[in-house]
Amino acid sequence: MMNASLSLMISFIIPMLVMIIATMVSKKMINDRESNSPFECGFDPKSSARMPFSLRFFLIAVIFLIFDVEIALILPIVIILKSSNLTIWLSSTAFFILILITGLIHEWKQGALQWAE
């Protein structure tokens, strides 16, 4: 019992000491304007380092990735046709494509596929 409590205390003390020493060593003592700027070349930036990001473009990209992965899931369906029951294959394929079409209609009605308003 004594060995277990001693090893438990050591397993808490050593990581705490390492974290405290790491935070003390990693602190910068001198903070100036040039070191805190996004460009450390000595020149003032002419514009913001952050560029505006289009959320509509991001949404289109995510939708493209989702449908791209779904196409990769549809490709093996043709190979499975030879080794499976036709009714089970037809029902599962129809169900999968129905889910895809339902998602596409939902995105279309939400207006996510319209690039310009």
DSSP classification of residue 69: H
Range among 24-33, 34-43, 100-109 with highest mean pLDDT value = 100-109
Q: Which two tokens stand for residue 82?
A: 């030879």
- CA gap 18, 5 in Å, rounded: 20
Identify the residue with better confidence: 40 or 102: 102
Handedness of CA 106, 107, 112, 116 (dihedral sign): negative
| Entry pTM | 0.48
| Model pLDDT, residue 112 | 76
- Say how many residues make up the chain: 117
- Which stretch of DSSP H or E encloses residue 107? helix 86-110
Task: Give the tens place of pLDDT for each residue, 67-96.
Answer: 888 888 888 888 888 888 989 989 988 998
Where in the chain are the domains? 55-110
Average pLDDT of 52-66?
A: 81
| Model pLDDT, residue 55 | 77
